Structure 1
Amino acid sequence: MAQTVDGRKKISEKFIYFFGAFGGILFGYDIGVMTGALPFLQHDWNLEGHATTIGWITSGVMFGAIFGGATAGMLSDRLGRRKMILASAVIFVVGSIACGIVPNNGTGWLIAMRIFLGIAVGAASALVPAYMSEIAPARLRGNLSGLNQTMIVSGMLISYIVDYLLKGLPHQYAWRLMLAAAAIPALILFLGVLRLPESPRFLIHHGNVEEARHVLSMIRPADQVEAEINEITTTASEEAENQRKVSWGTLFSPRYRYLVIAGIGVAAFQQFQGANAIFYYIPLIVEKATGQAAGEALMWPIIQGVILVLGSLLFIAIAEKFNRKTLIMMGGTVMALSFILPAVINMVMPNAHPMMIVVFLSLYVAFYSFTWAPLTWVIVGEIFPLAIRGRASGIASSFNWIGSFLVGLVFPIMTAKMSQELVFFIFGVICVLGVLFVKFMVPETRGHSLEDIEEAAVRRSLGK
């Protein structure tokens, strides 16, 4: 790293880029790791038949994330983006280790630690992309945004591989090491962000222009510093003015109601369509379908993880070649059929091969990976006008986490009371409703400016 004039070290773009990616990897790892740990935990603590307990242990992270995501943004506005990311990494480390050393049969303790860990998951999911978009050069911001989904699913894939590598250990050790291993990427993230400066945008927002100038001198060519200072100052003033004018009630005024409902609806449908039921419980799904022990079915999460990564790369390649609504409706249609057809086939052919449902679930994951998974956040990022973007995006994110939590909680309860085919049939119907919602309630955002989208929404609201 070269020295600047005032003695501070330059920070390379690759260093910034790496830790922008690493935040997503950590986020994905902690979401995916319970998939492989759960079968061993079930066996160790004799949790078979305790569907509600299994649901809470699995979904506790998402429950904590609802609050972590909501509070992290507010605290980061007061304390700084970097400090809050470091605090989140510490919670990751402590929470991961705590999950690995819980007392035997301490289900309440494990659920509490999973919720505690979820606070960091929610915070990291909100803070790391925001921080990186503020500190990275403008020409890299689009790449960081496009790669975020790839890094999250890569983190999930890494967790599945770690689970598979540890499956040969005795049950009482395997799940503990799987959960505790999340502390390693969290520690790497902490050490990496420790070397990064505070966001220049945060510094200017708090009146510390000189320190922002020092930070920019570390990460930008000298001839770009003053221009970016002026740009950030202007944007910060506009946002402050918007915040004074906008209340929560403004979101549902005739001017914005249509767009707010559209954005929140897409974010909610992404989770209520049941994707996380597959990601969290695929070994148990295979066990119930085939009778194969869940602990021996850990290759299936890896297969799902590979499909997710390949799908995210496919999305990057085709994202700007097709309209948002075309892709997401096509994906939702195939996802619906992937859930509905196994139930129909099972009714017509009761002796159909039990692995049929797993094949259809893999087809679901393939289409989800390059449609609903990334496009939800593309649409949420494009649909809200600047005046309400902060509040509206926060609500959309909260509904997404609530959906993730509820699916993780109720899926084992539902499968304990009805067949897997019927449960997925219900999710398939929700997929159909999601397609209809997008068709009739969501505007096309590709190639349209925020002003064009807002104007069209106003005309729709006023019936013009």
Structure 2
Amino acid sequence: MVKEKKVSSRFIYFFGAFGGILFGYDIGVMTGALPFLQQDWGLESAVVIGWITSSIMLGAIFGGAMAGQLSDRLGRRKMILISAVVFVIGSLLSGIAPPDGHYYLIAVRIFLGMAVGAASALVPAYMSEMAPAHLRGRLSGINQTMIVSGMLLSYIVDYFLSGLSTTIAWRSMLAMAAVPAVILFIGVLKLPESPRFLIKNNKLAEARTVLSYIRPKDKIETEIKQIQEMAERERLASQQTSLGTMFSGKYRYLLFAGVGIAAFQQFQGANAIFYYIPLIVEEATGSAASSALMWPIIQGIILVLGSLLFLVIADKFKRRTLLTLGGTVMGLSFIFPAILNAVIPNTNPMMIVVFLSIYVAFYSFTWAPLTWVIVGEIFPLMIRGRASGLASSFNWLGSFLVGLMFPIMTASMPQEAVFAIFGVICLLGVLFVQVRVPETRGYTLEEIEKIGERKQAKRNSA
């Protein structure tokens, strides 16, 4: 039963969103820890470095899929608590890795990644079910702000711990991720369950109590009725939908558009910067990566400012316009260093870092948040659950492959050439947006579905 003691809406929204900070923290912490880990264990294998860095994303692929299923059975709140416990255990186990324990650390980070994937799925779901309708449009942007704030926090912690001895430094960085996880656990203990989950499980009295915390009294019964109607529609949709339904002619166009956007967001190479910026600076300047930990903080500040900018402009520009602008500048920011290096061989090596900062700035208010806005808008109700899960899986797969392959690629070709490849992918992403992605701003879900049907009909008749 829900406790009678009222929980303030601010408390609910703060700790509901806090999972995004934890998610971002665990994504970013390896950026500062990796240079010290390399020194301590004498890591030279690009494959091992790639696996240690990207293994958390491999776990996230499975964690996100399982969290969605389990949260429908156990509840959003309980699954967030379980994820926080996994965060704590995984972080502490990472910090006590045995000397030269490559495979141990990879296995632990896969385990930790399951919590990362769960958080990425559960936090937006919980927040969207708790927030009033007029705030839901901002949730993707707010969640992105929380994630990048978590990344920035991890970069700052890494910077201040970098003065410790090599062994203690990286172990402390990884283990410190347990602290925000404990804070999340304590806060979520006091959170109520999602009213949507309660209503779907026929706990109407508890749902009314929860809604009384966060809604005006005269709105409660209306919202309960709306939730019941939507739950029934989704139940009927799930019964009538199979995997084959997603790929049918009626839905294929929108499916490919949403999944394609999610995949391009990662294959454009953003995480190569976020994971490896100290090593990128080391490659460019020859200075030790462990002394370049101010650069992740700079990138983190840019990410946070960009996410805040998105909150201001999100509904003032068309989705396709922002994606085209961002993807074009991102692609050119990756390609220009290779051109400059070919034309002027003695160009200042830090020029590539300047261009990477321009890339991060435009990524932060375009592709980073807009991907999930579009994924939330573009799928018709009949395929929304399965299609959103597929888009998330492709996004995590892209993140995993970029994290794994970047050190391998830079070991076999110049750094500028690697980023030029990512630049071409960015421009291909722009082309994909122009050809395959319909505009979704200002359209209802039903109107978007009709756009997809018309587009697919044209392709079938061509």
Alpha-carbon displacement from aligned partner over 1:168-212 (angstroms, at most 9, x marks no partner): 000000001101111111111111111011111112112222332
Aligned AA (1:402): L
Q: Distance in 2 between matches of 1:377 and 1:140?
A: 16
Q: Distance in 2 between matches of 1:145 and 1:367?
A: 17
Aligned AA (2:60): A
Residue 381 of structure 1 deviates from its aligned partner by 1.0
- Counterpart of 1:230 (choices 207, 225, 232) is 225
1:32 to 2:28 alignment: yes
1:448 to 2:447 alignment: no
1:373 to 2:368 alignment: yes
User: Contact 1:283 / 1:295 at 8 angstroms: preserved in 2?
Assistant: yes
Aligned AA (1:109): Y
- Counterpart of 1:9 (choices 5, 17, 25) is 5
Deviates more, 1:188-197 or 1:204-213: 204-213
Residue 378 of structure 1 deviates from its aligned partner by 1.0
Secondary structure at 2:106's aligned position in 1?
helix
Aligned residue in 2 for 1:246: 241
Q: Distance in 1 between matches of 2:117 and 2:169?
A: 26
Alpha-carbon displacement from aligned partner over 1:9-33 (angstroms, at most 9, x marks no partner): 2211110121132111111000000
Residue 225 of structure 1 deviates from its aligned partner by 2.3
Aligned AA (1:96): S
Aligned residue in 2 for 1:358: 353
Aligned residue in 1 for 2:135: 140
User: Contact 2:17 / 2:127 at 8 angstroms: preserved in 1?
Assistant: no
1:303 to 2:298 alignment: yes
Aligned residue in 1 for 2:46: 51
Q: What is the TM-score normalised by the length of structure 2?
A: 0.97
User: Contact 2:57 / 2:399 at 8 angstroms: preserved in 1?
Assistant: yes
1:432 to 2:427 alignment: yes
Secondary structure at 1:462's aligned position in 2?
helix
User: Contact 1:17 / 1:144 at 8 angstroms: preserved in 2?
Assistant: no
Q: What is the TM-score normalised by the length of structure 1?
A: 0.97
Aligned AA (1:43): Q
Aligned residue in 2 for 1:284: 279
Secondary structure at 1:197's aligned position in 2?
coil
Alpha-carbon displacement from aligned partner over 1:344-402 (angstroms, at most 9, x marks no partner): 11111111111111111111111111111011111111111122111111100000000
User: Contact 1:21 / 1:144 at 8 angstroms: preserved in 2?
Assistant: no
Aligned residue in 2 for 1:124: 119
What percent identity do the matched residue pairs reach? 72
- Counterpart of 1:402 (choices 378, 397, 401) is 397
Unaligned segments of structure 2, at least 5 residues: none
Aligned AA (1:224): K
Residue 317 of structure 1 deviates from its aligned partner by 1.1
Unaligned segments of structure 1, at least 5 residues: 1-5
Aligned AA (1:27): F
1:93 to 2:58 alignment: no
Q: Distance in 1 between matches of 2:452 and 2:149?
A: 37
Q: Distance in 2 between matches of 1:199 and 1:105?
A: 44
Residue 309 of structure 1 deviates from its aligned partner by 0.7
Q: Distance in 2 between matches of 1:379 and 1:314?
A: 18
Residue 7 of structure 1 deviates from its aligned partner by 7.4
Q: Distance in 2 between matches of 1:429 and 1:330?
A: 15
Alpha-carbon displacement from aligned partner over 1:101-159 (angstroms, at most 9, x marks no partner): 11111111111110000000000010011012112333433343331111111110000
- Counterpart of 2:257 (choices 251, 258, 262) is 262
Q: For 1:310-389, list aligned pairs within 5 A.
A: 310-389=305-384
Aligned residue in 2 for 1:271: 266
Alpha-carbon displacement from aligned partner over 1:331-354 (angstroms, at most 9, x marks no partner): 111111111111111111111111
User: Contact 2:47 / 2:404 at 8 angstroms: preserved in 1?
Assistant: yes
Q: Distance in 1 between matches of 2:434 and 2:143?
A: 26
Cα gap change, 1:139 to 1:452, in 2 (>3 Å): closer
Q: Distance in 2 between matches of 1:368 and 1:139?
A: 26
Q: Distance in 2 between matches of 1:440 and 1:33?
A: 37
User: Contact 2:278 / 2:292 at 8 angstroms: preserved in 1?
Assistant: yes
Secondary structure at 2:137's aligned position in 1?
helix
1:73 to 2:68 alignment: yes
User: Contact 2:61 / 2:396 at 8 angstroms: preserved in 1?
Assistant: yes
- Counterpart of 2:151 (choices 152, 156, 159) is 156
How many residues align structurally?
A: 458
Aligned residue in 2 for 1:3: none
Q: Distance in 2 between matches of 1:7 and 1:341?
A: 59
1:23 to 2:19 alignment: yes
Q: Distance in 2 between matches of 1:213 and 1:20?
A: 19
Residue 272 of structure 1 deviates from its aligned partner by 0.3
Q: Distance in 1 between matches of 2:123 and 2:318?
A: 28
Cα gap change, 1:223 to 1:7, in 2 (>3 Å): farther
Alpha-carbon displacement from aligned partner over 1:296-320 (angstroms, at most 9, x marks no partner): 0000000000111111111111111
Q: Distance in 1 between matches of 2:240 and 2:211?
A: 31
Secondary structure at 2:287's aligned position in 1?
coil
Aligned-residue CA RMSD (Å): 1.3
1:170 to 2:170 alignment: no
Deviates more, 1:448-457 or 1:176-185: 448-457
